[in-house]
Chain A
Amino acid sequence: MSGDWSYWLREHRGTLLAFAAFVAMFAVYAANHPAGLNANVATTAANKGVLLAIVAMAQTVVVLTSGIDLSVGMVMVLANCLASTIVVGSPAATALGVVGVLATGCLCGAVNGVIVIYGRLQPIVTTIATGSVFYGAALALRRVPGGDIDSTLADALTGQLPGGIPASLVLLAALVVTVWMPFRRSALGRAAYAVGSSEVAAYMSGVPIRRAKFAAYMLSGLLASMAGLFLTCVTYSGEASAANGGSYTLYSIAAVVLGGISLFGGSGSAIGAIFGALMFRTIGDLLFVFNVEPLWQPLFQGVVLVAAVCLGSLRLLRIRNRLDLYG
């Protein structure tokens, strides 16, 4: 029994570390916040964090297969522009609009998947190029920022539940339970991990590589479009901003790394990425709490990122054979 326990600990070390680091940072943040940790402070922080957390989940599923999706930010921007156009009107129209936004996200992910799997192009180049296409589509929908979203839906997703619990956290938990956990436990999810560990070994063992990769890319598109929908709920408008798309893509990679997920694929969990994303957001907020000049904020974030990344090299201490350094 103790063997199982230590194995479990080892498997989830990255997730647990990310969780611990986030809790510590958030405690410092809450303790030093001038207004204390009231429901409004928590809701604002949660909305910002959840937005990045969903994008980070989208990035995770692809990174697990040892791919990378540099178009997540652009899918999010496209979903944002689309949602600000079609998620309005009667409840039925709104519901249909939500379905349309999520379907578009799936389609974007499916396009990435088809090109990577059947076109046999490298994910990094493919998603750079498709990201440009998705951004163009977003721009076609919204040449200038604007639009609207059904306010009942927006308030429900970004507001507070009775008792002051941020609704967005419940949304995030629901996503984990209804999207991530079924995927993780399904045969396809296990195949995605297998592909990430060693594609050749997975192929030789008869793992459905193509279906696993396709599912991962499509799920990534779906999650990214959910993030876009949520962004629309927060801002009540759509904006085709290339800067937004680019920075969310980069932050999602940062969150994945902070969440203890190997960029080489095959290990880690979306839950780690969620805490990585929340941690990344808390770092920015910490500076605000300590009255650091806003000018220093990007530098501080960068230095924390470097420090977190360097922690990854601790594994070198465990290497006995020097050859193992050179993969």
Chain B
Amino acid sequence: MGDVRVPADDSRAAPADGPRRRLSRFDPAVVAAFGCVAIVLFVGSLYSTSFLSPEYLLQQLKVASFLGVIATGAMIVILLGQIDLSVPWVVAVGGMMATAATGWGSLGEALAIPVGVACGIALGLVNGLGVAFLRLPSMVVTLAVNAVAQGLMVVHTGGFSPQDASSPAMRFLATGHSVLGIPNALIVWAAIGAGAVFLLTRTTFGRTVYAIGNRERAAYLSGARTRLVVMAAFAISGALSAFGGVLLAGYASKAAQAMGDPYLLPAIAAVVLGGTSILGGRGNYLGTVAGVILITLLQSMLSVMQMEEFGRHVTYGIVIIAMLLIYGRGRRHSE
């Protein structure tokens, strides 16, 4: 039912004043998501003013970058109306293969990041093959690929956390600071985010992604090469998940089993909280940014407030439901 809606950009912006109107018009869901960020910060500041200090906020943005990179990939797939459940072990594959490459010597050290990302692309292409050409539900294909990735890594590492350390370049990207003390990880996320915005709003690929999310049959009949676009979207998602793993390995200076497990659900939650429809075809990258910041702040503040772990899980779940009930509801049958 939500799938017959045309993306907001197309339906309302007249060609003549398109760019200007696009700037002046805000997606209500994005505004609501940023409003929630402000509310969370306000409530936090009642507890302790240190939640508003630049150091704390910058630190949180740095932590949010890892989730942000992974959520970018998740968003592109969700815009298609599909879902990528292979995130956990593709993240681990990225981290583990990058650290393993570092162990091969100086050439490997230089190639660590590309190797990690390439492995992610390969797994993403398998996902895309299953979804686009074998026409299988993405939920099961990506689940199966996740299981295979886990199996490969268990065989590769012997079931233990690998001993290889991450390369200096990985550590530089994940933990270093550049001009004005801005964390490199944040710059990386900003660059990837800018790339995603360009891809989604200014290229044929992005238009086709939205079109497929609305109705793949219509996109196909309009001459879009939908299957290749779906494959590419899954490859991008795999690459970004693996790159997130590379960054995480750089941050912790080594890779670990199950390092990607805590990222699947927050990534999906961040995308959906940002106003992207889980049915596909509707969504704005700015919303995902808000969702990522929201999830990260929520997790961090609840632990700083020394709430017990069970309370954090309960609050986390209730807040997500509550926010979605406010602005993420579907439509009635009669509409």
Contacts and interface: CB of A to CB of B under 8 A. Distances in A.
A125 B221 CA distance: 31
Contacts of B312: 136
A139 B309 contact: yes
A139 B140 contact: no
Contacts of A325: 135
Interface in A177-217: 199-200, 203, 209
B321 A305 contact: no
B3 to A, nearest CB: 10
Contacts of A305: 143-144, 147-148
27 contacts: A119-B329, A120-B330, A121-B321, A125-B272, A125-B324, A129-B269, A129-B316, A132-B314, A133-B313, A135-B313, A136-B314, A139-B310, A199-B1, A203-B333, A243-B258, A243-B261, A250-B143, A253-B143, A254-B144, A257-B140, A297-B151, A300-B151, A305-B148, A310-B130, A326-B219, A326-B226, A327-B217
B311 interface: yes
Interface in A284-312: 295-303, 305-306, 309-310, 312
Interface in A91-134: 115, 119-122, 124-126, 128-133
B83 interface: yes
Contact of A306 (B148, B155, B159): B148
Nearest to B157: A295
B328 interface: yes
Nearest to A141: B310
A323 interface: yes
Contacts of A126: 321, 324
A129 B136 contact: no
Contacts of A199: 1
Interface of A: 68, 115, 119-122, 124-126, 128-133, 135-140, 143, 199-200, 203, 209, 243, 246, 250, 253-254, 257, 263-264, 295-303, 305-306, 309-310, 312-313, 316, 323, 325-327
Given A122-B278, A254-B143, A313-B135, A299 B151 contact: yes
A257 B130 CA distance: 15
Interface in B3-48: none
Interface string B297-335: 000000000001111111111101100110011111100
Nearest 3 CB-CB pairings of A with B = A299-B151, A136-B313, A302-B147
Nearest to B147: A302
B209 interface: no
Chain B contact-residue range equals 35 or more
Contacts of A300: 151
A316 B136 CA distance: 10
Contacts of B308: 140
B139 interface: yes
B265 interface: yes
A140 B310 contact: yes
Nearest to B268: A128
A120 B1 CA distance: 12
Given A136-B311, A305-B144, A125 B317 contact: no
A3 B327 CA distance: 51
Contacts of A296: 151, 155
A309 B129 CA distance: 13
Contacts of B248: none
Nearest to B2: A122
Contacts of A312: 134, 136, 140
Nearest to B126: A306
Given A137-B310, A305-B144, A310 B134 contact: yes
Nearest to A299: B151
A306 B317 contact: no
Contacts of B330: 120-122
B139 A130 contact: no
A298 B147 contact: yes
B56 interface: no
A153 to B, nearest CB: 27
B279 to A, nearest CB: 7
A120 B321 contact: no
Nearest to B137: A263
B181 interface: no
